[in-house]
Structure 1
């Protein structure tokens, strides 16, 4: 894992690449241009919305800290989508939660054989409200551990 100062230096390099005119700020058009260069098409309206969502001083431009918040927020949303997809694989019964049976079935598909009691014990460790199943939020917490 990269140390924080190394990560910041890498982030600053990315920021400078996006800052085409070198003014220390990224405009919506610069954001759109750079996203297009990496294969991510972004409409002018979407670029404006993204800048506006992170522009804390309302100047219509992203400074380094604002750009970092935007990237962090986008990364968090992507992680949440990935986690939701994983949750749905385990959920399998359309109940909006992971049960001991659905956990057992998914673990079997992954090549790990566990009995229902073992699955109940696994669920119990992260079942914060004591209902015997894992909600998405409980699953999210479990995956962070």
Structure 2
């Protein structure tokens, strides 16, 4: 794990100075993740973990940033699982048109089953007529 992390740090440290700048962070996030991060957001990310105030991330500070981001993603995923659980058909592990209709009715939005099918169809990536948790995550990110 430590050597893998060192490789990741080295890949982000484009100028090989032992520190990661906001510009390097932006470049690598675009190349590795396809995420286009603004200069302001990159500056904020660096500042959130920059404990010595030099405007750069050391390997230790970069690890802190990665851990903060992982914890935030874990919390987000936990919230999405709770939301998914409210909509899913109990025991099925998926959201069906009927379970969606029931939950929307509880929330005061009365939809016909065909409308619920159409809502699901938009994010049903595998075409099975229901939403898995992974498809639900895609839908929530849209």
TM-score by length of 1: 0.62
1:12 and 1:67 mapped to 2: Cα distance?
6
Residue 115 and residue 7 in structure 1: after superposition, are their counterparts in 2 closer, same or farther (change >3 A)? Answer: same
* 1:125 alignment counterpart: 122
CA RMSD, 1 decimal: 2.5
- Which residue matches 1:11? 48
Corresponding residue for 1:91?
88
Equivalent position SS for 1:83 = helix
Q: What 5-or-longer segments of structure 2 have no aligned partner?
A: 1-38
| Whole-angstrom distance in 1 between the partners of 2:90 and 2:119 | 18
Q: Does 1:135 align with 2:132?
A: yes
The corresponding residue for 2:12 is none
**In the aligned structure 2, how far is the partner of 1:112 from the partner of 1:135?**
22
Large movers: runs of 4+ above 2 Å: none
Q: For each residue in 1:76-100, what CA deviation from the matched residue of structure 2 results, as whole angstroms up to 9, or x when unmatched?
A: 1111111011000000422100000
Secondary structure of residue in 2 paired with 1:63: helix
Offset, 1:11: 0.4
Q: Conserved in 1, the CA contact under 8 Å of 2:89 and 2:96?
A: no
Aligned positions, number: 102
**Alpha-carbon shift at residue 3 of structure 1 (Å):** 3.1
- In 1, are the aligned partners of 2:49 and 2:64 still within 8 Å (CA)? no
Q: Does the Cα contact within 8 Å between 2:45 and 2:65 map onto a contact in 1?
A: no
Tell me the TM-score normalised to structure 2 length: 0.63
Distance 1:3 1:109, change over 3 A: farther
